[in-house]
Structure 1
Amino acid sequence: MDDDLIDSGLLPLSRKSLLPGTGFFYPDSLDEERADERVKEAVEGAEAVVVADLDADGLGCAALIRELYDAALDPEPFLADIERRLEDDDPVADKEDEDEEADEDAALDSSVALVGAGPHNVEDALERVAEYADDGIDVYVCDLCPDKYEYVEEALESLVAHVDSVRWFDHHQWGDDVAAAVREAGVDLVVGDSDEECTTDVALRSLDYDFSEQFEELAAVTRDHDLWIREDARSDDLADYAYWVGNEEYVAIVAAYGADLPEQALAYVEHRRVEKGQLIELAVSRAEFKRVGEWTVGVTYGRCSQNEVAEALREQGADAAVIVKPAGSASIRGSESFERAHEVAAYVDGGGHPRAAGCKPDIYDDMLDYANHWSTQGSAAKRVILAAFERVAETAEEEEEAEPEDEGVETEL
């Protein structure tokens, strides 16, 4: 197949918005081979390994842990590369476009390795670290929550058996049984209040180290975006920068500069936001609004920044927003009037927070299903997720009916 057919960077924006990134089209077997090579190269000789979600929150944890081990990378080579990209108008592709080759060679200079993972493949990352890392090291798992313990059981127990310690920091909604099983496996698990803390907050207070105010501020600004507080303009800068650049670059820059990104990074973010805004506009223009129970749900499709799209749909009257992505996953965002996003996601093979959750419906059996997904702008996924909203609405109605009425009691004198 011609490589140009899967290179979304060559497409007009209107078509790029409808299709997944280049990395989607690589076979899992090829991805697994590359993942094995990347993890093996990263962890060999490391004194500690961070397994983290690769958003600003997970990467913020990595910056803290490298500071703890005095293993931060020199930011100067990354700053020089940013300037080169801007001069050449050759921005690094979005992470979903990358073929996930190992991050910058500078990663080899840090004694704290960074291994990326997501909620649906955390067990694979743990298994690879268990296989390739040296005995007696420290392992940190950050900003990840397994839906069931059996998903990570074998890999986690293998890891615990040959490393010195495993510490797990998170702020998602953990099931009591899952948390208990992880702790019983020998893991020091700390789960923060998902309404109050991001995982960087949890790591900051859990690590035995006197972090400077710069790192405290980094945690606060990361929280501002991760919990969708949005009172600090810098939080959008961090989130966008983490999304658009290599993981090692982000960790090195925030470790050196904290939440106040250097001018080169800010210039790069502004450069990329032109296309980001156009993709947001396309997704918002496709939105439909459905009434489910007592809620209005805005539903759309596209390759876009889901948080900004959700905000735009809320401004148009939505209590909740669903953004179905070309790769098959979906983001569910709530509001003050809808705090059951994680309950909806749980019905569709996902999870998350009351106001922010994600899922990937199990409806894609072959490439024809994906072809239908792209050509119909996610119609099947939308139906499945709206059905989950209906189930949550039914539960809410039953809960309301079960609540005893607050009846006044007359007293005779």
Structure 2
Amino acid sequence: MDDWLIDDETLPLSRRSVLPGEGFFMPDSLDDAQVEQEARETLADADRVVIADPDADGLGCVALMREAFGEASLLPAGPHEIADALEYVGEYAEPGLDVYVCDLCPDSEYDIESLPLVAELADSVRWFDHHQWDDEYAELVREHAELVVGNSDEECTTDVALRSLDYDFDDRFVDLAKVTRDHDLWIREDPRSDDLADYSHWAEPEEYIETVLEHGADLPGDVQDFLEERRVEKEALIEKAVDRAEYKVIGDWTVGVTYGRCSQNEVAEAMREDGADASVIVKPAGSASIRGTDAFERCHEVAAQVNGGGHPKAAGCKPDIYDDMLDYAHHWTTRGAITKQVILDGFRQLDDEEPETDA
């Protein structure tokens, strides 16, 4: 395949909006080999490692630990990569290290099957999070680690780390946690929270960590210039997704649903302003974001039906419906029609359950 077919620098915006990024087209075997090699290098001689989701909340936890301890190696892992990260620690880390897991919640026993080995290897294992936990998995984790789960309506994981670490953080880091919470819980009262979210998404994790260590939530001028430049394309992609939005009435809820490569929070906010109680943003890579409002706080319940999870007002999922590239081709050409239908059926299932629950 010619590189120019997937090159974001040459594809017109209308095409980029409906296709996944070029990384999607890299075989998992190549990506997995690179990730494993990077993990091996990170863990070599590490005294303290943090397995964290590399978004603003997870990276905020790493910044707090580097402030408190002076050193903390980052092992980035998304929600579906917990098992791999723990396995890498068990295989490549030296005995006696301290292990932290931040802003990650297991979806199955498979995710934590390497935890006993990690606990045996490490001096300590601490797990900080704020998602909706299954009681069974929480109990399994507590057999091998100290688990602190914050109230997902009130705290982000950076909040949890701030209050759990035995260190007197100055006001800069208290403010960093507050602003991170503003975005992660989708409160959206502090304009700096969008800056943190965008910067964590566009910058390399180490760059983000070093910047907030020095400046907290008040990002410096050169970073603001960088964000302003990147937001020109971001706003254009948001507009494309908002223009595609449709609205479905399911029971007492109006659900907005759209498709596109875009920043889901801003698109969801636009659909909320147009009357949506909940919003579904289906991505070209096959995943979807579900966002709620005060009128709908059951996003995690919808996502749980579609191979996902999250918070009452913010969740994510990826339906298990893609068997080959023809399925993805259909996904792109129909703008996610089947994924939309599967997720909307999740809303309908909740609506059907309500009379029984009330009874």
- TM-score, length-scaled by structure 1: 0.86
Q: 1:190 to 1:377 in 2, by over 3 A?
A: same
- Contact 1:8–1:19, Cα closer than 8 Å, also in 2: no
Q: 1:317-396 residue pairs with structure 2 within 5 A?
A: 317-396=275-354
The CA deviation string for residues 253-296 of structure 1, in whole angstroms up to 9 with x for no partner, is 00111000111111111111111100000000001111111100
The partner residue of 1:147 within 90, 107, 117 is: 107
The partner residue of 2:207 within 249, 259, 280 is: 249
Q: Which has the higher contact order (CA 8 A, sep 6+)?
A: 1
1:158 equivalenced with 2:109 (yes/no): no
Residue 8 of structure 1 aligns to a residue whose secondary structure is: coil
Q: 1:6-405 residue pairs with structure 2 within 5 A?
A: 6-71=6-71, 112-148=72-108, 150-184=109-143, 186-400=144-358, 402=359
Give the aligned length. 359
Structure 2 distance, partners of 1:127, 1:6, is 32
Amino acid across the alignment from 1:392? L
Amino acid across the alignment from 2:99? V
Q: 1:4 is matched with which residue?
A: 4
- Fraction of identical pairs, as percent: 65
Amino acid across the alignment from 1:163? A
Amino acid across the alignment from 2:100? Y
- Contact 2:82–2:112, Cα closer than 8 Å, also in 1: no
Q: CA RMSD in A?
A: 0.8
Q: CA deviation at 1:3?
A: 1.6
- Contact 2:86–2:112, Cα closer than 8 Å, also in 1: no
| Unmatched runs of 5 consecutive residues or more in structure 1 | 72-111, 403-413
- Contact 1:9–1:16, Cα closer than 8 Å, also in 2: no
Structure 1 distance, partners of 2:92, 2:7, is 32
Amino acid across the alignment from 2:96? G
Q: CA deviation at 1:128?
A: 0.9
- Contact 1:319–1:335, Cα closer than 8 Å, also in 2: yes
Structure 1 distance, partners of 2:349, 2:111, is 28
Q: CA deviation at 1:397?
A: 2.9
Structure 2 distance, partners of 1:374, 1:257, is 41
Q: CA deviation at 1:398?
A: 2.2
Q: CA deviation at 1:6?
A: 2.0
The CA deviation string for residues 224-261 of structure 1, in whole angstroms up to 9 with x for no partner, is 11111111111111011001110000001001110001
The CA deviation string for residues 21-40 of structure 1, in whole angstroms up to 9 with x for no partner, is 11111111111110111011
Amino acid across the alignment from 1:125? A
Structure 2 distance, partners of 1:258, 1:343, is 34
- TM-score, length-scaled by structure 2: 0.99
Structure 2 distance, partners of 1:210, 1:244, is 30
The CA deviation string for residues 358-413 of structure 1, in whole angstroms up to 9 with x for no partner, is 0000000000000000010000100100111100111123223x1xxxxxxxxxxx
| Unmatched runs of 5 consecutive residues or more in structure 2 | none
Structure 2 distance, partners of 1:21, 1:51, is 25
Structure 2 distance, partners of 1:338, 1:397, is 16
Structure 2 distance, partners of 1:305, 1:390, is 26
